[in-house]
Amino acid sequence: MKIRLFSLIMESFFGNSNRVDAMPGALENKVVAIETDGGIEPVSALKICGDSFTKMGLNVSTNAISDLEKNPMAAAFLKGGKQVSSICKACDVYEICGGGYFPHRFDGESFNNPSVYCESLYTLISSIQNEIMTKIPEMKEWIRPIASDRHISASTLVQCLECISDEGVN
């Protein structure tokens, strides 16, 4: 059994840019929600930020999906890991974390904050990196340093992840 968050973090160290909104890395979000009534909204997870928080007044019958970008809150969500606090941009794990899950960055007024789980994410990401380097010492040269463009093939990545999974990550 795989834990998606752990897999995403491990794959990120090897250059995989297939991300989800929960761990965007330094990428933009490319996901919107279409409600059953045709409403166009940022992802439904943002509903935890307040009553009608995601209601933009947009509908597929009268609007283009790109109209969502005109709303400042929706635009901030779509920018995801590219629009983060200066604290996040200066962090060693920013390229992997991207500031964390967008709803976890909301302080009641804005999303320009580190995740409420910042310290835990940092510990988790750095622990996974250290574990990868311990389990696969010959792969140290391929561990993606911050802002690196190095990538390994998908088949090599699968072998690396299987190696870690077989021995278990402590």
100-141 confidence digits (pLDDT tens): 888 898 898 888 899 999 988 888 888 888 777 777 766 666
User: pLDDT value at position 151?
Assistant: 42
How far apart are the C-alpha atoms of 107 and 117, rounded to whole Å? 13
What pLDDT, on the 0 to 100 scale, is given for residue 10? Answer: 82
pLDDT for position 63: 94
Least Cα distance to 164 among 139, 126, 136 occurs for 136
Q: Which pLDDT band, with edges at 50, 70 and 90, does 150 fall under? A: very low
In this prediction the pTM is 0.70
Q: What is the 3-state secondary structure (H, E, C) of 1-48?
A: CCCHHHHHHHHHHCCCCCCECCECCCCCCCCCEECCCCEEECCHHHHH
Q: Residue 169: is its pLDDT beyond 50?
A: no
* pLDDT on residue 31: 79
